[in-house]
Structure formats: C-alpha cells, structure tokens
Amino acid sequence: MSKETLLANLREIPDFPIPGILFYDVTTLFKSAECMQEMLDTLYEMYKDKGITKVVGIESRGFIMGGALAARLGAGFVMARKPGKLPAEVLEETYAKEYGTDTIQLHKDAISEDDVVLLHDDLLATGGTMAATYRLVRKNGCKKAYINFIIELKDLNGRKAFEEGVEVETLLQL
C-alpha cells in the first residue's frame, strides 16, 4: 500500500468541529478511485486468510469500506447504528464520551456463535465507539473478532480502550 498516496489525498481541516481540533477528512480518500482501490486491496490482503464471515461497519463512514470489504471477502455486512435506526429487535451498548454518553446498536440476530467478525470504522481517536461495538459483538458469542481502522490518531491512545489481546490494525497512523 502506498501510504504516501493516501496521505496526499487526506484533507486536514483546522478548527473543526471546534477550535483547536485538527479534523482528518476521509471523504477525500473515498472520492478518489485510486485511494479506494488502494485501501480495499490492502484491507483484503490483511484479512483474506482470517476466515471472516461478517464485517461490522460503524455508522456512518465505517459503512463505506466495511461494505466493500465484506463483498470482496465473500462475507456478510452488518451495520452498527445509533438508536432508532435499525428496524428489528436490537442489542445495545451505552458508553461514556467526553461530555456524556452515547449508545450503539446491532440487530439481535446479526452475529452468531459461528461468526468470525471484522469490525471496521474510519478513525481511531479515543476508541469509545469501537470498544462499545466490540463488547456488543462479543456478547453475541462470535468465535473471534478483529478490529480495523483507516486512520489512528496515536496521541489520543485509543488502543487503551480495548482489552489486552484484541487485534487492532490501522492503515495510517498520524
């Protein structure tokens, strides 16, 4: 994978969403056919031999590469969503954020004990949303779960949100 290509196409937006924050905009990676192919090829190579049966994409940017990767791996795709977005019976996990709490949901029948799951999102910052989604998937009793992000903001130490032994991979570390 050409990290240089991805970095050259990653837009940085200062002071978004609040002053003092440098926002990394992955939409510029998604609009580039070259970057999309580069990311998909790299992710496929990382996970093609892991026996993945389901890819869980976290709302909403995790849906993009998560769905494409699921198709490439021959796996099913599951959406992890905010409350009120999934129509059937759900399981949910509430987690702490900087200023309050949030909740993530999966359909109750989305993951089985036989599944090997890859959880995917665009960005690892503090890790709260992904850690909650990981706990939710593990409650369903899957065989194994892997975690992947496009970008990791190393200075925020998001990996600390996961228990020891959880395999967390990223394409870019900033």
Residues marked active site are found at 61, 98
Tokens representing residue 174 in the block: 């900033």
Distance from C-alpha of 14 to C-alpha of 112, rounded to nearest angstrom: 42
Q: How far is CA 10 from the centre of its chain?
A: 17
Cα-Cα-Cα-Cα dihedral of 152, 158, 164, 166, to 10°? Answer: -40
Distance from C-alpha of 42 to C-alpha of 45, rounded to nearest angstrom: 5
Tokens representing residue 124 in the block: 């690892």
* Per-residue DSSP letter, 25: E
Q: 54-86 burial by CB neighbour count: b if 16+ within 10 A, else e?
A: bbbbbbebbbbbbebbbebbebbbbbbbeeeeb
Phi, psi (deg, nearest 5) at residue 60: -110, -25
